[in-house]
């Protein structure tokens, strides 16, 4: 079983903001795999299906970003699977807009949604895809920045990053994550 979690905030008000890019990747996969993410369970919107013969759970926590662990931990417990089956997709301020980075583990790096996961799961060792949203060019509080929309010049690299992230998930369905991670991270210097 694979549990793929996109982090974001619920509701139309936040749908197109930087902080919701994890949701965008889950939505992209849901559309491709024809797995509706509509069931309300574990304080999340959930979709379940099969891809290449393997059970897949797509999950978008509805707890608001900073409480994401309140959704993910009960989901894993109910599904009787451990963090080995988990992949989390979220925004990263420290990567330029459009760059992605895959990791097997790591600290929250100041990301409160990830910190909530670490706190509730009791470990930093879960797979992740971080999608760069960059830092603001002008002085602006970080909460305001992550809840803002992308600038027009960022739209194309962000769309490409969503597609590359979805491709990384597709490859994880067939290959070990370290192999996928090496493949995608190897080209970081050429990412825009």
Positions annotated as catalytic residues are 19
Q: In the sheet where 39-41 sits, what is the strand order?
A: 39-41, 44-51, 54-61, 2-6, 86-92, 127-132, 100-103
Number of neighbours of residue 140 by Cβ within 10 angstroms: 11
Q: Which two tokens stand for residue 7?
A: 């982090």
Cα gap 175→38, rounded to integer Å: 28
Q: In 3D, which of 5, 149, 154, 163 has the Cα closest to residue 90?
A: 5
């Amino acid at each position: 079983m694979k549990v793929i979690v996109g982090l974001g905030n619920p509701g139309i008000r936040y749908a197109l903001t930087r902080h919701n890019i994890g949701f965008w990747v889950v939505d992209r996969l849901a559309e491709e795999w024809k797995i509706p993410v509509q069931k309300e369970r574990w304080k999340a919107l959930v979709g379940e299906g099969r891809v290449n013969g393997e059970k897949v759970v797509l999950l978008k926590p509805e707890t608001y970003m900073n409480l994401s662990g309140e959704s993910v931990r009960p989901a894993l417990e109910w599904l009787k699977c451990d963090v080995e089956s988990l992949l989390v997709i979220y925004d990263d301020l420290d990567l330029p807009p459009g760059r992605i980075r895959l990791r097997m583990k790591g600290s929250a790096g100041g990301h409160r949604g990830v910190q909530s996961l670490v706190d509730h799961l009791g470990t930093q060792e879960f797979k992740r895809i971080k999608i760069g949203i960059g830092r603001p060019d002008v002085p602006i509080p970080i909460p305001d920045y992550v809840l803002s929309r992308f600038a027009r010049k960022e739209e194309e690299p962000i769309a490409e990053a969503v597609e590359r992230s979805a491709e990384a998930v597709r490859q994880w369905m067939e290959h070990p994550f370290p192999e996928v991670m090496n493949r995608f991270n190897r080209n970081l210097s050429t990412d825009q």
